[in-house]
Amino acid sequence: MTASQTDDFLRMLSSEHVEISKRVADLRQFWSEVNELGDGPQYEEMGARIRELRDHLAEHFDLEERGGYLAGAIQRAPQLAEQADRLKRQHQQILDTLDNYSSRLQACGESYQCWKDVLVDIEQFLNLLHDHESTEAAIIVETLDVDNHSQN
């Protein structure tokens, strides 16, 4: 991959991280609205939204890993290889966790306490996902900076 292709790929991944942030914000807004309206838990809708996020993340992770996880970034900044490897190992755990939340919501029945418990867990998970995506974004920014400095 040429330097220009690597830059384009890293910028595309950066755009993907923005899209993921929007989807997470939409998910948080949905459950906030459900709780504010007091219409009771919306298990099916929440489960569908979690599955949509999960499917989008699966595509995102596949894209990141295609041709080697952040290979272009690591080539430019080899000191980030260990950190990138740690992030890559989190991908399947993230997908499995979202599958678990979807299953838990399906099993809740009419229990409002179950809704609250799952949402507390999801909120904690989304904070971890944010950390994961932020760290990936930092790697991308740092490697673009490394390349820009080496060209000057």
Q: For the chain, which residues score pLDDT lower than 70? A: 1-2, 6, 39, 67-69, 145-152
Cα distance between residue 27 and residue 93, in whole Å: 20
Residues belonging to the chain: 152
Cα distance between residue 45 and residue 150, in whole Å: 49
Position 68 scores a pLDDT of 65
Q: Which domain holds residue 58?
A: 3-151
Cα distance between residue 106 and residue 129, in whole Å: 22
Helix, strand, coil shares, percent, the chain, to 5: 90, 0, 10
The number of beta carbons lying within 10 Å of the beta carbon of residue 87 is 20
Token pair belonging to 139: 């790697």
6 — phi, psi (to 5°)?
A: -65, -45
As for how many domains the chain has, the answer is 1
Tell whether pTM > 0.75.
yes
Lookup result for tokens 């999801």 = 122
Cα distance between residue 87 and residue 89, in whole Å: 5
